[in-house]
Structure 1
């Protein structure tokens, strides 16, 4: 005689419950430290907070001060120049390296390691290394002068009009390998039958890439842009280590401005306002992408 239990144990359901129970504390802490502090920063941007947080509501006064601050406007102009180079150059360099590795070279493993190795370094290490390389007295410039080119100088860090491009050089050097990996994954994910058919039609070399393969990389391009644009807006540690925002404020970016106002100039409300503007910049990039993806999924499932 078989015993019948009044309830049945569903192993799959139990596993889901245990997984949820294990993840729940992490989800709660993540929501608290991300959304909680985000809301708190938004509140501080509407108050008269100075050295310490204040609950005196002043509306949009901090934002008006922010827009009237020449230093903030200069940091936005620096961000425009830095961001344009930080997005365009890694896309071009990464695509070129991906096309090179897609040729199935014998040294592909070595080249892939060389291209991706900078991503293993933090921005602090990258900034420190490039600060030494760009040192006009001890870095690359000194090495070139010892080789006989006595008039050679590489003093971008000391020039107001070139310091921002010193940041660009270091940032592009680190991120280009990551963009290469995105494009290479896109190239390797293209259907082989499409490539075979194009070759049967006579397409080869650059024609094959220009007319067949590169047009298939739009998803990879969007993924790279979704990473590069917010990264440019949030760039902070590279500025601290490499240029400290100088000379003057010629290489100061919004994230560095926010840190200076909030923690060094005792203007917490103004720093919170600049932080919220940066959040809105990032959301203006991420939200359209998320909405577009959700619409595509709905159309695909319909």
Structure 2
């Protein structure tokens, strides 16, 4: 009897500890290579690091220098334009597609994966594909000329005043399907009895969505905003693949600025300071969302 009890206790102990032992290397790597490097970057932002890390503290000098650079202000301005349009159009198109699919249309099982497909691609693939499509020499403009429309022009990717909008086009194309899936899940979770009662009371479709459906989708709107804002702030691969930050600095964002100053211009301290500003921006976006989620669970 004692042997059976000991064997059962040993089995229980193994069941408790084996998952922890299996996961512990991954957890340790996350702490070292994610949180550890975050702390290291924060430290470097207060040092005089150039091409290689330098551990001599210089206080807030890198931050003062960062906010005095015209290139950084250009990156901030471009981010404001890109993120606002990117979030607005991705949310609007995603919501419209979700409402369209929620009408129980025929072929929904085919359309839904088609809309979601772009999100399965990396931003590098998306940027490269749209670069080919928008390039005047081989893309849309060239094709229109071959078809006989000689006066057609679409050179946004080469124009300093319009290049930033090509990032918006590519970004919206990739993520609007993902936003659609979030809104569609929210729509399918709304109690039909509420909608039927409103329709019986004479509510039009416009008032039904404006006064009932849209307010009930508030969690989906909040989630979409947080995800899209996070993607906008850390956009790097899309910019590099599509425009390379050009022409000039027309499409430079904080992420490309950080990489350039850290690894190309050998200004690691300034690059680390810009990375810390980006991290603080993402944290400022995430914290209210996390607080709201924790408040609802209580």
Deviation string for 1:127-168 (max 9, x for gaps)? 111001111121111112233321111111111110100111
Give the number of aligned pairs.
298
Alignment correspondent of 1:165: 165
Take 1:199 and 1:13, find their aligned partners in 2: how far apart are those partners?
58
Alpha-carbon distance in structure 2 between the residues aligned to 1:193 and 1:15: 46
1:95 and 1:88 mapped to 2: Cα distance?
Answer: 11
Q: Counterpart of 2:265?
A: 265
Distance 1:12 1:157 in 2: 62
Per the TM alignment, residue 19 of structure 1 is displaced from its structure 2 partner at its CA by: 1.8
1:101 aligns with 2:101: yes
Deviations 1:16-67 (A, max 9, x none): 4322222122111111111100000011111000011101110110001100
| Distance (whole Å) between structure 2 residues aligned to residue 2 and residue 59 of structure 1 | 66
TM-score normalised per structure 1: 0.93
The aligned residue for residue 90 of structure 2 is 90
Alignment partners' CA distance in 1, 2:256 and 2:172: 19
Aligned partner of 2:276 in structure 1 is 276
Q: Counterparts of 1:66 and 1:196 in 2: how far apart (Å)?
A: 57
Could you tell me which residue of structure 1 aligns to residue 241 of structure 2?
241
Distance in 2 separating the partners of 1:195 and 1:15:
48
Structure 2 unaligned regions, length at least 5: none
What's the C-alpha RMSD, in Å, of the aligned pairs? Answer: 1.9
Q: Deviations over 1:55-101 (max 9, x none)?
A: 11101100011000000010000000000011000000000000000
* Structure 1 stretches lacking a partner, 5+ long: none
Query: Which residues of 2 match residues 175-194 of structure 1 at below 5 A?
Result: 175-194=175-194
Q: Deviations over 1:211-238 (max 9, x none)?
A: 2222110000011011000110000001
Distance in 1 (alpha carbons) for counterparts of 2:283 and 2:167? 24
Cα gap change, 1:6 to 1:154, in 2 (>3 Å): closer
Higher mean C-alpha displacement, 163-172 vs 139-148: 139-148
1:211-268 residue CA offsets vs partner (Å, 9 max, x unmatched):
2222110000011011000110000001111111111101100000000000111111
Partner of 1:57: 57
Aligned residue in 1 for 2:22: 22
SS in 1 for 2:217: helix
- Give the 5 Å matches for 1:141-160: 141-160=141-160
Q: TM-score w.r.t. structure 2 length?
A: 0.95
